[in-house]
Amino acid sequence: MVVCASHSPGMERDVERMYGTEFREGLSRARQIVEEFDPDYIVLFGGDHRRAFRHVVPTFGVALSAGIMAEAGHEAAGLAVPQELARELAEHLLESGIDIAVCRDIELDHAFAQPLRDLTGALGRYPVIPVAINCATAPLPRAERVLALGDAVGRFLDSKSGRVLVIGTGGLSHSPPSLELDTYDISDAERARIIAEGSEAARKKIKPAWDAAFLEAVRTADREALVALTDDAHSNAGAGANEVRTWLAASAAGGGVGLELLAYQPVEEWITGMAVAVSR
Asked if residue 231 has pLDDT above 90, the reply is yes
The predicted structure's pLDDT at residue 70: 81
Asked if residue 64 has pLDDT above 70, the reply is yes
CA–CA gap between residue 239 and residue 247 (Å, rounded): 16
Reduce the DSSP state of residue 159 to 3 states and report it: coil
CA 185 centroid distance within chain: 22
Q: What are the strands of the beta sheet with 41-46, ordered from one edge?
A: 101-103, 60-63, 128-133, 41-46, 164-169, 2-5, 272-278, 260-267
Q: Kindly list the catalytic residues.
A: 110, 174
Domain count, the chain: 1
Digit-coded pLDDT (tens) for 121-180? 999 999 999 999 999 999 999 999 999 999 999 999 999 999 999 999 999 999 987 776
Give 189's pLDDT tier (boundaries 50, 70, 90).
confident
Q: What are the strands of the beta sheet with 77-78, ordered from one edge?
A: 77-78, 66-68, 106-108
Asked if residue 103 has pLDDT above 70, the reply is yes
CA–CA gap between residue 109 and residue 105 (Å, rounded): 13
Helices and strands per DSSP (H, E), number in the chain: 11, 11
Mean pLDDT of 217-226: 98
> Which residues pair with residue 74 across a beta bridge?
71
Comparing 48-62, 163-177, 251-265, the range with the smallest average pLDDT is 48-62
The predicted structure's pLDDT at residue 273: 98
Q: Find out whether 169 and 7 touch, Cβ atoms under 8 Å.
A: yes
Digit-coded pLDDT (tens) for 90-99? 999 999 999 9
Q: Which CATH number is 212's domain given?
A: 3.40.830.10
The residue range of the domain holding 217 is 2-278
